[in-house]
């Protein structure tokens, strides 16, 4: 079974600084997707960024970027120029590629605090 591990229960960053959240995963599949979701206090799950395993290029979305190391099964999220609105729980998630159940497997999350 696939597992996702987030080893940092909590992280903090100063406003305007950069922070990196870690995620590792375990799978025997070669075709899969990886995601970072943000969950603010409202509890709404918001997709931050997605990475296809077959793509070597790291995904970026504005201030958010990932470092995808397929051989190491590592998928970290970098937030640049942190803003107060970035404070939230961040979940790393895995999904098999086409042909299997499309369920998401989540890590336990990292609580990010942004200090003014």
Interface residues with other proteins (CB under 8 A) are 4, 6, 33, 42-47, 50, 52, 91, 97-98, 101-109
Whole-angstrom distance, CA of residue 61 vs CA of residue 116: 23
Residue with Cβ nearer other proteins (80 or 106): 106
Q: Which helix (H) or strand (E) holds 20?
A: strand 19-21
Whole-angstrom distance, CA of residue 74 vs CA of residue 25: 7
- Output the smallest distance, CB 15 to other proteins, in A: 26
- Output the smallest distance, CB 101 to other proteins, in A: 4
Residue with Cβ nearer other proteins (43 or 56): 43
Query: Could you count the other beta carbons within 10 Å of the beta carbon of residue 94?
Result: 24
- Output the smallest distance, CB 109 to other proteins, in A: 5
Residue with Cβ nearer other proteins (31 or 81): 31
The torsion angles phi and psi of 5, rounded to 5 degrees, stand at -120, 125
Residue with Cβ nearer other proteins (91 or 114): 91
- Output the smallest distance, CB 65 to other proteins, in A: 19
């Amino acid at each position: 079974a696939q597992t996702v591990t987030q080893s940092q229960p909590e992280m903090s960053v100063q406003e305007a600084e950069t922070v990196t959240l870690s995620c590792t995963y375990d799978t025997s599949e070669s075709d899969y997707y990886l995601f970072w979701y943000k969950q603010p206090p409202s509890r709404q799950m918001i997709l931050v960024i997605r990475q296809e395993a077959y793509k070597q290029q790291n995904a970026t979305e504005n201030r958010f970027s990932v470092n995808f190391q397929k051989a190491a099964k590592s998928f970290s999220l970098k937030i640049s120029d942190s803003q107060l609105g970035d404070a939230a729980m961040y979940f790393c998630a895995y999904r098999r590629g086409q042909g299997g159940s499309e369920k998401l497997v989540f890590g336990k999350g990292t609580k990010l605090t942004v200090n003014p």
